[in-house]
Amino acid sequence: MIILGIETSCDETAAAIVQMKARLRNRAFSPTFEILSSVISSQVDIHAKTGGIVPEVAAREHIKNILPIIDQALKKASLDYHRIDVIAVTGGPGLITSLLVGAETAKVLAYTWNKPIIKVNHLEGHIYSNWLRAQDSGLKAPQFPLLALVVSGGHTELVLMKKHLDYQVIGQTRDDAAGEAFDKVAKLLGLGYPGGPIISQLAQKGKRDAFKLPRPMINENNFDFSFSGLKTAVLYLIKDRSKTKLPATRPLRIAKRVGRASYQLQANLCASFEQAAIDVLVEKTIKAAKKYKVKSVLLSGGVAANELLRESLKTKVKKELPASHFSLPTLQLCTDNAAMIAAAGYYHATYHGSEDWQKLSVDPNWELT
């Protein structure tokens, strides 16, 4: 089966061609995936100018890029549309105007090419990036029951899966998502957008115990998250100049502009914040994995590219859950991409079949169920 995946939930316009092949493992056939092509047009530089995503601007960029991106994906895969078996498109959650561009394009192609169409939840796409990772590295695919930590700019969820396409959200953020907190703290520090990579880069030069920051809800008897209090604690540190000795104008700038002392202060604050946020993510995930006795622990979403999170969770799983398999996507598959949508689309096609293209709609608040 050859699947065209289309992803436009936020500010990346993406298309990918993924081929599913059946391989004999332990006397049973299991699907393996080959990414024939994956093309992404990012709008990061555009939205960096405004310090965040402007939905109308994002939608216009999607409209401009979507067809050329799909054409590039087909050419890189050395295929024409006749070889496509299924079209899988993100139906939510995300920005409504961005989602509509991808969905309407997919519907037109489904009608014009006479191809079945499937709607995929963006979050399940992130989860299924781990199956692409297994194929890419030769590792074994995740085993059920599994626990997936999905952590991105808009979502932070712990998802229990007992079989394919079966989702039980056992924990989620009550306010800011983890990635959102990174972006907001970066904005408080005057570091620019997107904030996550900048904070992580500076954190490598800082002391992670330089500032005592809270770990919200880390000891509560549930699997929910909260990051607004951590963000507020950073804000108070910035305002309390008697403690932090930050410059009087824009809180923190690049080292050459504020001097070595201020740069180190900046790095220390980033390191302390990053450590606090990741401590919570890792601790909650391990607690949930132990309770539900899962065979696999998965990490996915844009924040899964964070090196400290990747290494911390990997180490913790190996130490405290030695019988469980840990899986995480390659860095390229952490950010929004269409290959993950195609992978999830395969399982929908296999278990649920296709949808009527005329009835396919998007839902910006679509929850995993």
Distances (CA, A) of 203 to 199, 266, 275: 6, 9, 9
Report the interhelical angle of 260-292 vs 307-320 (nearest 10°): 40
Taking only the tens place, the pLDDT of each residue in 230-262 is 999 999 998 875 455 554 434 444 444 444 558
- The confidence score (pLDDT) of residue 145 equals 98
Tell me, what's the pLDDT at 99?
99
The topology (CATH level 3) of 2-138+332-351 is Nucleotidyltransferase; domain 5 (3.30.420)
Q: Which tens digit of pLDDT belongs to each residue from 30-83?
A: 778 999 999 999 999 999 998 899 999 999 999 999 999 999 999 999 999 999
Report the binding-site residues for Fe cation: 122, 126, 336
Assigned token pair, 356: 């009527």
What's the pLDDT at 263?
Answer: 84
The predicted pLDDT at position 208 comes to: 97
Binding residues: 122, 126, 150-154, 183, 196, 306, 336
Residue spans per domain, the chain: 2-138+332-351, 146-331
Domain 146-331, CATH class in plain words: alpha beta
Which segments of 143-296 does DSSP mark as H helices, in order? 178-188, 195-203, 228-239, 241-244, 255-258, 260-292
> Sheet of 12-25: strands edge to edge?
28-42, 12-25, 2-7, 86-92, 117-121
Please enumerate, by residue number, every residue annotated as part of a binding site for substrate: 150-154, 183, 196, 306
At residue 31, the pLDDT reads 77
Q: Do domains 2-138+332-351 and 146-331 have the same CATH topology?
A: yes
The span from the CA of 57 to the CA of 63, in Å, is 10
Say what the alpha-carbon torsion angle 150, 197, 338, 168 is, to the nearest 10 degrees: 0
Angle between helices 195-203 and 178-188 (to 10 degrees): 70
Write the CA distances from 230 to 53, 124, 175, 363, integer angstroms.
23, 28, 11, 30
Enumerate residues 6+ apart whose C-beta is below 8 A from 364. 92, 93, 94, 95, 96, 99
pLDDT of residue 85: 98
234 within 8 A of 246, measured Cβ to Cβ: no
The low-confidence residues of the chain, meaning pLDDT below 50, are: 242, 247-259
**For residue 22, what pLDDT is reported?**
75
